[in-house]
Amino acid sequence: MKKIVEKIKRAKKILVVSHKRPDGDSIGSQIGLLLALKKIKKDIYCLNEDEVPETFLFLKGCELIKNEIPLNKKFDLIVTLDMSDLSRSGERIEKFLKELLEKKIFLINIDHHDSNTNFGDENYIDIHSSSTSEIVFKMLKKLNTKFDKDIVNSLYTGMVSDTGNFLFENTKSETFKLASEMIKLGAERQKISNEVYMSRPFQKVKLISRVIERAKFIDDKVYSFIKLSDFKELNAKKEYTDGIVNELLKIKGVGFAVLLTEEDDQIRISFRSKTERYNADLFARKFNGGGHYYAAGGRSEDTIENTIKNLEKELNSL
């Protein structure tokens, strides 16, 4: 951590990148870092493949996250957040990052995924942290940041969304301790919980109901799917799929849940576990993916029918 703090102190122009299909943690950690470093007069460019999801537009500073490759490419440091692998940034941005790396621009990789490939020049991977936002908060404290409401709001949002509102296994006593510190520093706990967990667009609720209706059980394991046509029929945005797999996991008696989402060019698969018996990370590796013990992702380039067949077979032998 010390090395990273020193590198950041010395850098002037910093590129901050996170993963495609951003979530609360990637957005929260990016904005938190950006606002804090702006205070000490760093020139920051936050770059993501995809736009900020609707749910997180309430965060002040989210308009500073860009989707365009910068024209002025002179950076002296790259920080990647919540990214287990360079390719997680998305094709377009990965290509840009590789160009910068060829020019020997130093890369700091900050993440909490077990499957992180340590692709940075300096890697800070803490798999015991609830979220990347939690790691960024600890780092900013070491940088003697003068925290304000907007900084802690974004970091708190990252923590709240990666822990499912402090519901998932990754919620540790340390998580509550840091959350408490953030609240003391001005984080608006209730507003954030309302924005992230109590403001579902009705079309998303309809999508959830479709997923629940289609649920198929194999012992204490469950899976369901979303078809491309569902989005059109329900007038639902692609980002509404976020977190839906947890609705399957919440069912009494379920220990392992899988959600398949049909996309234009692939099937995206989410895996969630709520018991030590099932390792989502290991299971996801059978489907070109990985992640954490209790939450992981994968994908398939086969049809949804074949992917379901394959999944059933794997679930039966799990």
Contacts with Mn ion in 131-150 (CB under 5 A)?
Answer: 131-132
What is the C-alpha separation between 99 and 116, in angstroms, rounded? 21
Contacts of range 297-302, beta carbons closer than 8 Å, 24 or more positions apart: 297/268, 297/269, 297/270, 297/271, 298/268, 298/269, 298/271, 299/266, 299/267, 299/268, 299/269, 300/260, 300/266, 300/267, 300/269, 301/265, 301/266, 301/267, 302/267
Report the nearest approach of Mn ion to the CB of residue 257 (Å). 19
Q: Which residue is nearest to Mn ion (CB)?
A: 25
> Which among 155-163, 223-231, 241-249, 250-258 is the span making contact with Mn ion, rule CB under 5 A?
155-163
CB of 303 vs Mn ion, minimal distance in Å:
30
Among positions 49, 162, 195, 239, the unique one binding Mn ion when judged by CB under 5 A: 162
Q: Is 25 in the site for Mn ion (CB under 5 A)?
A: yes
CB of 23 to Mn ion, least distance (A): 7
Q: What letter would DSSP give residue 188?
A: -
Site residues for Mn ion, 82-111, by CB under 5 A, read 82
Query: Minimum distance from CB of 215 to Mn ion (Å)?
Result: 26
Between 145 and 170, CB nearer to Mn ion: 170
Pick 105 or 243: Cβ nearer Mn ion: 243
Count interface residues toward Mn ion (CB under 5 A): 5
Strand order in the sheet with 77-81: 65-66, 43-47, 13-18, 77-81, 107-111, 122-125
- Read off φ and ψ for residue 124, nearest 5 degrees: -120, 95
Which 225-244 positions form the footprint of Mn ion (CB under 5 A)?
Answer: none
* Minimum distance from residue 21 beta carbon to Mn ion (Å): 12
CA nearest neighbour of 62 among 24, 116, 95, 88? 24
Chain residues in the site for Mn ion (CB under 5 A)? 25, 82, 131-132, 162
